[in-house]
Chain A
């Protein structure tokens, strides 16, 4: 112990340098966490979080009796799995494809084009999509001009999830590919030379050199994606959904928003939802990490 103190004193300036970051996390991430106490309390706005009375598990009981909550819960899981299955690999594929473009100029061009939509907010994109997909939108006009019946894309519960996945891919694919492109850029060129001398064609090079080199990156991003699974993308869903697609599109976060601020569920119940979600996220993150380690990869913790 004494030794540790000595060591710490010796490197005290390094510790001082660390202090602001540590403080940031303590003040803005850890201290506000006392708010989860609300899940076990009946919130009285004027008394504040700490002095509101305790109610035990009453909030959780009220929660599990709500059929809307279970619907949102199932949707969240389905949408998150869909994101991992459909959206997650596309960024890798795009990065590999961009990497195969030979001319540096074109590479830059494609990368820019694919990255750009990331900077448009969902509010704007939802506006564009409504113009595009609504009853009098461009797509329906094209369909009508071919003599087919108009479709209701935005209010069809069966189409809502595909629309979510596709629009999110369109928006985020280029941005997510950046990290893989960076990993690819770090691959030693000698590996490719050796592969070429061994007679490997481009596809074989991709499979034998490029993919193994970025697999570790993919595994870590996968863990993070799984750990994020209970989130499901509030901003996107909130801007795109409507009562017609609640049954397939309402996720926990949007349900929480509507019930806390619109329908008058108490803050205690909605905090309970949040806590419930965070605990599940935590379990998922750890099990994904465990799986990756078991499969021989390098985990996060």
Chain B
């Protein structure tokens, strides 16, 4: 009896030992990925959607958006016979998360990231290390996708002739300029301006003086010293304040100076910018908490009448959590448009007003290299559909028969209305809509279109507001001078510059106590140790070659 006990316990222990060891052994046996990039459609039988597939996919906030499994999501899953497995990423940390996933071998099948234009070095690394799948050379089976692949500038992200990412275009391509023009906006309290007798500023000093009046002259009349000048959604939006002083700062491009091509932060014009930025901080016209506020926290101060100006984008007014509804929630009974307007930037030194323009796309979809050809085909078919007119109809109008009916070419909207008489927002009704509709292309352009569905969803006033703004920008402003080739150009030293965090250093300079120009020059000098001079040499040579 005693002996059997011993034997049993020994066996159990050794079993434990072996299973524990074997669990650790397989970490490096990643499956051999097929890198066959020939068009996979050839071998697919007549019904390409016969087998059910699980496809994992990452997107900002997808966990919440997909939780309900609403009808839009169901319809897409049914159409392609797939189950979409959400993998959440956040706006604050998505790049970190992608790197961690890559290192752990846990990247989703459909990867959302923004490395093709934000950090080409990482993109190159992902391509070289075979983390992502090349798209088929022949995309003719996916006509809508093919158009994207052929769009201007996309060749810049081909490596050895192959495309490894589906850029997320500010679609439709021909309207990109208009979309960019309203991607930056400075909202201002026009009631405060009227009360204090302030006119639209015509230069930076007047702008700063206006903000100073907001801080010091108690514009809300509550006898408390509790108002600040300008707040921001994120620092990126705030930077447009300096566009009249230094246009290239608006899209963080490269500039030609003294016969060399240099990144904007190394330009002489930064001297003036840093002086202005520091002055705003010293005058408290820039929210003193801007450096510690997380993305979106600054918005609250504007909604709660604690700030007179707010740097964000024009179409930020739309939607259930947009500026307009949030502001009106905090100020019951008041109409947003009676109290807030967009403050247009003043002309720069050359007398021109500049508007935002940027790369034709921002962020991209990449496909995990472990995805097999059949799955790749399914994903590409899905993306092709997302980009099609059929997809657009679903995203614009909702589900046929439920949200709208079609009478020939005319759409009759039948979805429910809110208390204020507006049709309820489709994004609110279908939480997955905001995600699915933007997987393949940003829909900013759609959201600002002057269409029946938009007027129905957002009300005439909001749509008109945006249309007026687009018109103003197109009539009065010019796109900021931009050397587009730099967004995707890659040289060894330029790629290393991605370790420079301009926003952090700029913030540090603003908060500092020493002379801003000296501080900034010292910072840029410090970039030399990260290879700045080498990068300038390489890029200048590359530009000379291209001419």
| Interface positions of A (Cβ within 8 A of B) | 16, 19-20, 23, 27, 31, 44-51, 65-67, 130, 134-136, 144, 150, 152, 154-155, 242-244, 246-247, 258-265, 267
Contact = CB atoms under 8 A, between A and B. Distances in A.
B17 A48 contact: no
B414 interface: no
Given A19-B17, A46-B131, A48-B28, A262 B291 contact: no
19 contacts: A23-B16, A45-B103, A46-B129, A46-B369, A48-B28, A66-B529, A136-B306, A144-B225, A152-B288, A155-B292, A242-B291, A242-B507, A243-B503, A243-B504, A244-B512, A258-B501, A261-B96, A263-B498, A264-B122
B375 to A, nearest CB: 19
B416 interface: no
Contacts of B225: 144
A132 to B, nearest CB: 12
B451 interface: no
Given A23-B20, A27-B24, A261 B99 contact: yes
B412 to A, nearest CB: 48
A157 to B, nearest CB: 8
A264 B291 contact: no
Given A16-B10, A16-B13, A45-B103, 17 more contacts: A19-B13, A27-B20, A27-B24, A45-B105, A46-B129, A130-B292, A134-B289, A135-B288, A135-B289, A150-B288, A155-B511, A242-B507, A243-B291, A243-B504, A261-B96, A261-B100, A264-B499
B24 A244 contact: no
A264 B123 CA distance: 11
B358 interface: no
Contact of A67 (B21, B96, B529): B529
Given A16-B13, A46-B129, A265 B499 contact: yes
Contact of A46 (B99, B130, B301, B508): B130
A266 B117 CA distance: 19
Contacts, number: 99
Given A66-B529, A136-B306, A261-B100, A155 B291 contact: yes
A31 B512 CA distance: 46
B226 interface: yes
Interface residues of B, number: 51
Nearest to A135: B288
Contacts of A31: 24
Contacts of A19: 13, 17
Nearest to B224: A144
B121 interface: yes
Contacts of A267: 103
B287 interface: yes
Contacts of B510: 244
Contacts of A242: 291-292, 507
Interface in B100-141: 100, 102-103, 105, 119, 121-122, 129-131
Interface in B279-305: 287-289, 291-292, 301
B228 to A, nearest CB: 7
B544 interface: no
Give chain B's interface secondary structure class.
helix
A48 B10 CA distance: 35
Interface in B513-547: 526, 529-530
Given A45-B131, A136-B289, A263 B499 contact: yes
A135 B287 contact: yes
B130 A262 contact: no
Contact of B17 (A23, A46, A66, A264): A23
Contacts of A150: 288
Contacts of B121: 264
Nearest to B227: A136
Contacts of B455: none
B27 interface: yes
B285 to A, nearest CB: 13
Contact of A261 (B16, B95, B301, B526): B95
Contact of A264 (B93, B498, B504): B498
- The 7 lowest CB-CB distance pairs between A and B, nearest first, are A261-B96, A244-B511, A48-B28, A135-B288, A243-B507, A243-B504, A263-B499
B504 A46 contact: no
Contacts of B28: 48-51
Interface in B1-39: 9-10, 13, 16-17, 20-21, 24, 27-28, 30
A48 B130 CA distance: 12
B501 to A, nearest CB: 6
Nearest to A149: B284
Contact of B501 (A45, A261, A262): A262
Contacts of A136: 226, 289, 301, 306
A147 to B, nearest CB: 10
A16 B129 contact: no
B505 interface: yes
Contacts of A130: 292
Contacts of B226: 136
Contacts of A258: 501
Highest count of chain A CB atoms <10 Å: which of B9, B100, B306, B507:
B507
Interface in B66-115: 93, 95-96, 99-100, 102-103, 105
Given A45-B103, A66-B529, A155-B292, A16 B9 contact: yes
